[in-house]
Structure 1
Amino acid sequence: MKTGATIWNNIKEKLLQMRSTKLFLIYLSNLVSLQLANVRDGGVTMKNKGLPAVWWRCARDVYHMMRVFLLLYLILCLLGITIESITPWIMTRVFELAQESLETGRGWDRLWGGIGGLCFVMSVPIVLQCISALMTAHIELKSHMLFGQRLFLKTKKLPQEAFEDSRTYDAYQIAEKCSTGNQLWTMASLGFDILERGIIMISAIAVMGTFSPWLVLIALGSVVPNLLVGVRSRKLEYRLYHKQIGKERTAEYLWGLFCKKEPVKEMRTLGFTSYLKERWVDSRDEMLREQKCLQDKIFIRVNAAHCIRNLFYGINIALSIWLMLKGMISISQLAGCIAAFSTLQGAALNLTGSMEDIVYCGKSVSDYYRYLELPEEQDGGREYPEFKGDIDMEGVTYAYPNMQENALTGVDLQVQKGEHVVIVGENGSGKTTLTKLLTGCLKPKDGMVLYDGTDIAGMRRNSLLRHISMVSQNFVRYNFTLRENIGISDVERMSDDAAVSRAIRLADLDEVKRIVGGLDGKLGREFGGSELSGGQWQKVAIARCIFRLSDIVILDEPTSALDPLIEYDILSRFMEMMKDKTAVIISHRVGICRMADKIVVMKEGRVAEIGRHEELLQKNGEYSRIWRAQARWTVEG
């Protein structure tokens, strides 16, 4: 019997006799060394990083999050490697014992002991697989939660401008699917799986190497086509997935319209259900056609690789039989050789599948980490203690991402403490953009926004926002309780019934409170609560703004869904309550302007006029035109 060192020397000599193989091994060694050099302690960035660097970062994150489970999983892997590595050797020994017993008539007890040991060794992997499956299910659940939480925290830190760019939504969807699909854990576990399959292959190769190095070369040649085709196919699949992500978001959006109350009601009333269905079908079919085209190409290549593998398998069996006929190996060694080759084929196929998956997962995980490396909102270092003076905008210009024209150009505006300012203008004149700049949600392209003479770019944004309360144009309808819907603007005071009830009274929500059954009654039908009208939901949003104790209040179209009489009543009370606070109100209705200390008229992204109601009417400018148009509409109506 040859020793392990002798076997390896025989294999090595045959390999190094081939110049092309030698050059390939040198190239592979340099490539692996280069990729491993990309891995830096303390973290790696995903730009231009190879698969080893991505796997290292992923495995390290999994280890930090789930040390105990990962260590137990590795122990199971090591047991599996040990068992499957010694199986070909035990099988060969059992065949030798069987031949010896048949020839001599002795040693039957050893043969039966060997068969029992072989049965035990072959049953252990089944038990290990069951245990591993249970552990994997738990690990996947935990990794889904932890990596999803990291994604949420990252999204929270992105600047507002990022959400004005569709590419951010594409990147988020890719990262989210990576997280929800447990591809990070899959990526980490595949690395261990490849190591396990590699060791099993080496064990099988060592068995075959005792018979002939040519068996090893033929065995390796049988799996190379599958490996190359599989890896290439997975790269093409992910490239297509990346290309289709925008189309997929469009299809999901169209499908989502059929699952929401408001769109369904409108499409039934106006009769455009078929049109939306056709758009969804067209979008879906376009993606399916591209996927089918790729899968057809992959199918042909994969089957060609399988044919080559089966051909090599037949050649290896024929070579083994030839060696037996020449007297170079015995019948028992022939059986061991075929068993080792079968083990090698199985391990190689599993290794090929793992390599395919790790290439696909590697690209997905790389995109996940690339999302985590997106630039975060740069927070200033200074705390903003208290609003004392005024707000100034000096030459503020802003343009949304991927837009040629400016949304605001050279805006100069001053809002003094305690002043009530109403901003009016046509749709698209820049009113909402102006409020986003006032609150620091957007950063000016040029110019500055100053609070008490200090540029807010140098302030910590959270310290500034503590002094601001807001009702946005597209306010959120939370399917929570009435208390939560209002108190969420100041969570620490949510349990204060008196404060919540005061906000309800000021926003004219007493009837809603009665309908839903008190402060803890649920809103929205989605979870069995009471549905509100659009105007009632808007009152809830106003109550949420009132509840928050702040020095500055910003209202963006706060009463657009309210009846004019109710609007006047609520805004009158609101203005009275806000008499000691600074308020900036955006409105498309100019009736509220009578109550304002200052009116700012926006037109085409610029400040067209500033003044009080009577003053601006006398100027006979843009404000006067808007006032007369709305007055004429009211009279004619």
Structure 2
Amino acid sequence: MNTVKKKDTFFQVITRIIPMQFQAAPFNCILENILAVMHGLSFSLTVVATQHLFDTISKASASEAGFSDCMASLFLLTGATFGQQLLNGIHNFHGTGILFPKSSGKLTVLLHRKLKDIDPAQFENTDFLDDLNKAREGIQAIPLCCMILFLCVSFYGVYFLSIGTYLFTLKPMLLITLLLAFIPAILAQTINIRVFTRLEEQSAPLRREHEYYQKAICDREYFKETRILGAFSFFNQLFTDTLELLNSKIWRAERKIALLQLVLNITTFAGMGTSAYLLFTATMNGEITVGMFAAVFAALGQIFDIMNEIVSKHIGSMNRDIGKINNFLHLLDMPDRTGSLSTPDFTKGVAAYGISYTYPGRENPAVKNVSLNLAEGETIAIVGENGAGKSTLVRLLTGIYRPLEGRVIIGGLDTAKIAPSSLYKGISGVFQKYQRYKMTLEENVAISDSLAKAGLDQAESALREAGFEKGSIRMEDMLSPEFGGIDLSGGQWQRIAIARGLYRVNDFIVLDEPTSAIDPIEETRIYKQFQRLAEGKCALVVTHRLGSAKLADRVVVLEAGEIVDMGTHEELLSRPGKYADMWAAQAQWYEREEK
């Protein structure tokens, strides 16, 4: 992307994701904090109950308390312990089993909505694809980070406030020693933030590479070619090399963190030893009771474990995730492709005025200084060799891309000023790289927003118009062996893609080389049917088989992104030029077709 990335500080990130988390699951966030407060108090109550039990037993040994007093203290400790474990189970279940998946789902929806409004041209940008990979990692990181913050404030905060007050009343120095023991560890974690943020920046491109190589090895879409051509070893080596490089970067970061962790452990051990010594001397000097000593000594291990868990596990986890979260927020901050709302009037046709377009990261324009008018009821064929810019021109003329120079007017609307949702109204298309949706036959055809207006009958009609022979295939059949359904041939899938385009209610329809898996004779039949269906509409046909171009009112010849000729099929053949040369090269196909 051409934007400069702004790295928010830790506290800036926190102030952004907490409201985001509450918006995703408000009730569950409140409940999570209530459970955390009760859970934290239950730990402190257990310490107090332990002191009370040991003091009661000590008094009983001195005949100052009876058996019933000891049993009451025991029941109090049992109840406090049971309540603590019950709250622990409920708290953990709610956090990991309810709040986390609910928040992750809502954040995924938020990301998808954002991607819907981002300029489609960004998906041709390598930097953007890396950022998208990082942002998807952030979806999991945000709820985890927020849950840790809830823990630190509502659970650990309440626990340390209550237990700290208790320790301070016993011996102030005891509390101070505990706090001093963890200051170096907290400082060490600030270094971790930088380490893991840098690691995430370096890892995302490698992670995207190795995920692609893994797909090339294992995915159903690739396995036939990789096995037949013996390409498994090639992709496996690429996968292994990329994974080793990724792991080496992770190893270097983890090694640095491990050294800091060693410092933390030494500091923690020293602090725990000092606290135990202070506790022992206070008991020997009669400053605290035996019950207090037993309760606090038993709790010391728990206190240090919790403090170590906060610093090493939770703060460390947030440090690892802060870079991912930053990338998620950065993607949300990207400018949307916006514009005013309107409705195109296709009686005004489609026009391009001196448009040019260059893909991100490339020097040569894919389309250069093209001007073209498409009138209502006119069909224009766009032809040219591979790489001539045909598909790019179609994306510009349909408003998917905005030209870097010049203007495109669709139905009287300037694509630079109108919202995409308005531009796409009334446009349908069938593209060269069509999708094979793992859904039913009916769903594969009826995915457009005209579903509510049409339905099953219209879907079957579109299939007939596309020349799809159903045979024993039913509309409700799943078209995916992976989901227990059936598979189709390439030609059948191509006809479904054509039916999908015909199904959508439209006034402007595009066929961008959708018939590569169909023989020339059948292709001509489909294009003739398309010509009939396109009557009265604006229509674009992109084809590499010039026999189909004969059906268009005009033919546009592209070369290196520029229009080098234009006219009817007969006009272009009557004069020397690119079209006549291409026709001569393909003539033998059509001679056979006519026989």
TM over 0.5: yes
CA distance 1:355–1:184, change in 2 (3 Å): same
CA distance in 1, matches of 2:453, 2:170: 80
Q: What does residue 103 of structure 2 align with?
A: 143
The equivalent position to 1:178 in structure 2, one of 138, 146, 156, is 138
TM-score of the aligned structures, taking structure 2 as reference length: 0.90
CA distance in 2, matches of 1:194, 1:422: 65
Relative to structure 2, which stretch is displaced further, 55-64 or 538-547?
55-64
Question: Over residues 498-555 of structure 1, what are the superposed CA-to-partner deviations in whole Å (9 max), with x where a residue is unaligned?
Answer: x334323322213xx1141x33333333333332221221122122222233222111
> Is structure 2 residue 228 aligned with structure 1 residue 272?
no
CA distance in 2, matches of 1:598, 1:53: 58
**Counterparts of 1:162-561 in structure 2 under 5 Å?**
162-179=122-139, 181=140, 183-195=141-153, 196-233=155-192, 235-326=194-285, 328-329=287-288, 331-352=290-311, 353-384=313-344, 386-489=345-448, 490-497=450-457, 499-510=458-469, 513-516=470-473, 518-561=474-517
CA distance in 2, matches of 1:294, 1:57: 27
AA at the equivalent of 1:155: L
Q: Is the 8 A contact 2:196 2:319 kept in 1?
A: no
Q: What does residue 627 of structure 1 align with?
A: 583
Q: Is the 8 A contact 1:399 1:407 kept in 2?
A: yes
CA distance 1:336–1:391, change in 2 (3 Å): closer
CA distance in 1, matches of 2:167, 2:413: 78
Q: Is the 8 A contact 2:24 2:107 kept in 1?
A: no
Please report how far the alpha carbon of residue 399 of structure 1 lies from its aligned counterpart in structure 2 after TM superposition.
1.2
CA distance in 1, matches of 2:51, 2:550: 98
CA distance 1:395–1:123, change in 2 (3 Å): same
Q: What does residue 113 of structure 2 align with?
A: 153
Q: What does residue 552 of structure 2 align with?
A: 596
**Identity level (%):** 27
CA distance in 1, matches of 2:518, 2:461: 20
CA distance in 2, matches of 1:239, 1:74: 32
Please report how far the alpha carbon of residue 402 of structure 1 lies from its aligned counterpart in structure 2 after TM superposition.
2.1
CA distance in 1, matches of 2:486, 2:238: 34
Q: Is the 8 A contact 2:527 2:551 kept in 1?
A: no
CA distance in 1, matches of 2:173, 2:283: 14
AA at the equivalent of 1:514: G
Unaligned runs of 5+ in 2: none
TM-score of the aligned structures, taking structure 1 as reference length: 0.85
Please report how far the alpha carbon of residue 396 of structure 1 lies from its aligned counterpart in structure 2 after TM superposition.
0.5
For the residue of structure 2 that corresponds to 1:413, the secondary structure is: strand
CA distance 1:104–1:452, change in 2 (3 Å): closer
CA distance in 1, matches of 2:382, 2:581: 15
Please report how far the alpha carbon of residue 587 of structure 1 lies from its aligned counterpart in structure 2 after TM superposition.
1.0
Please, what is the CA RMSD of the aligned residues? Answer: 2.7
AA at the equivalent of 1:504: L
CA distance 1:216–1:135, change in 2 (3 Å): closer
The number of residues matched between the two structures is 585
CA distance in 2, matches of 1:502, 1:332: 85
Relative to structure 2, which stretch is displaced further, 111-120 or 305-314?
111-120
CA distance in 2, matches of 1:333, 1:478: 68
Q: Is the 8 A contact 1:208 1:341 kept in 2?
A: no
For the residue of structure 1 that corresponds to 2:347, the secondary structure is: coil
CA distance 1:553–1:113, change in 2 (3 Å): same
CA distance in 2, matches of 1:59, 1:574: 53
Question: Over residues 189-248 of structure 1, what are the superposed CA-to-partner deviations in whole Å (9 max), with x where a residue is unaligned?
Answer: 222211221332233333333454333332222223333334534652343133211111
CA distance in 2, matches of 1:636, 1:592: 15
CA distance in 1, matches of 2:493, 2:276: 77
CA distance in 1, matches of 2:52, 2:292: 9
CA distance 1:187–1:628, change in 2 (3 Å): same
Q: Is the 8 A contact 2:346 2:412 kept in 1?
A: no
CA distance in 2, matches of 1:221, 1:481: 64
CA distance in 1, matches of 2:151, 2:480: 48
AA at the equivalent of 1:167: D
CA distance 1:311–1:475, change in 2 (3 Å): same
